[in-house]
A and B are shown apart, each in its own frame.
Chain A
């Protein structure tokens, strides 16, 4: 580990830690119901839901399974499912 004098740290580097390991329930997106309102992306505390090829998908490397997205989805297109690990 490079100990930098003055506790200087590179930007965006928490990406190294995959907080997805914290998760118990995983959000499952029903893309047919999605109206692309982007509220899930806006509210996600992890900032890990983004549009990929036009579809909103969570990055499960970081999703902690908080279920805010599922709760806020106006079309109830997201369900929380117990994850088998």
Chain B
């Protein structure tokens, strides 16, 4: 008997946040759940034929169509009068970029589907290329720093706001470092009679370049610096925010990651650090993260 709904033996890197994220989601959702996943690290590390880590029914079709596939699953469940959870678990490439059309259609049609994005902020499966989720200044293999570049020139796409614009009734951000909060949000999302969206901060050891043991600490720092606010929106209204007791400077979070190394090597990156701090400060003000 498996103790969790994701079996060990998967091929994720040592220190990857994705399998922990999946297990937390499945713990909360329970065995009466069908999971749909797009192409990505999750799919290749958990389903190398003829093996699978999944202990719940699971389907993968393509990189950009998980939301449409899940829509087909959901209408059949309704037709068969079965009360089973439909959960999409996908990375940020499929969620923010290539799957946007299908995601928009699924949100807009109002299917009862929970979409969980494990957000590691770049195309990690193909070797760390920039995605719409890559944060400002982060180094990827397609936003390398150089004499004319300080890393990714653009801020991260605001995907929760896009979900909210579709009138998605439950939207939340979460972090792999806050398991109680994440499980609570998954349970809340599954109660909603319609689509829901949870975006989970999930560090990637390969793409972010950090000491494997610090994976959880890093995700916690993203929250404590204000760069990753933990929030939830119910019916379009901000319904809850995780307060930060002792906010930390963004430098604490950035300097332990290889993807921001260039900001600390060169003398001319002070501006960039200040700009990233300004992003965190703006979040602090917007969400009133500090009492």
Contacts and interface: CB of A to CB of B under 8 A. Distances in A.
> Is any CB of A less than 8 Å from a CB of B in the complex?
yes
Interface of A: 1-2, 4, 7, 9-19, 22-23, 42-48, 50, 59, 61-62, 64-68, 70-72, 80
B206 to A, nearest CB: 13
A18 B9 contact: yes
B3 interface: yes
A47 B8 contact: yes
Given A1-B50, A48-B8, A50-B3, A66 B55 contact: no
A17 B179 contact: no
Contacts of A50: 3
Give the most central of A1, A4, A12, A16: most B CB within 10 Å: A12
Interface stretch (B73-81, B208-216, B248-256): B208-216
Nearest to B27: A42
Interface of B: 2-4, 6-12, 14-20, 23-24, 46-57, 176, 179, 212-217
Given A44-B20, A45-B14, A68 B216 contact: yes
B50 A66 contact: no
Give the most central of B9, B24, B48, B51: most A CB within 10 Å: B9
Given A13-B51, A19-B8, A59-B8, A47 B3 contact: yes
B56 A11 contact: yes
Interface SS majority for chain B: loop
Contacts of A80: 213
A66 B14 CA distance: 5
22 contacts: A9-B50, A12-B52, A12-B53, A13-B7, A13-B52, A13-B53, A14-B8, A14-B51, A14-B53, A15-B7, A16-B51, A42-B20, A42-B179, A43-B179, A45-B15, A47-B3, A48-B8, A64-B14, A66-B212, A68-B15, A72-B216, A80-B213
A48 B53 CA distance: 13
A-B pairs, top 3 by smallest CB distance, nearest first, are A14-B9, A67-B213, A71-B213
B56 A9 contact: no
A68 B212 contact: yes
A47 B50 contact: no
A53 to B, nearest CB: 14
Give the most central of B2, B51, B214: most A CB within 10 Å: B51
B12 to A, nearest CB: 6
Contacts of B47: 9
Given A15-B9, A47-B23, A71-B216, A66 B49 contact: no
B51 A17 contact: yes
Contacts of A43: 20, 176, 179, 216
B285 to A, nearest CB: 31
A66 B46 contact: no
A71 B50 contact: no
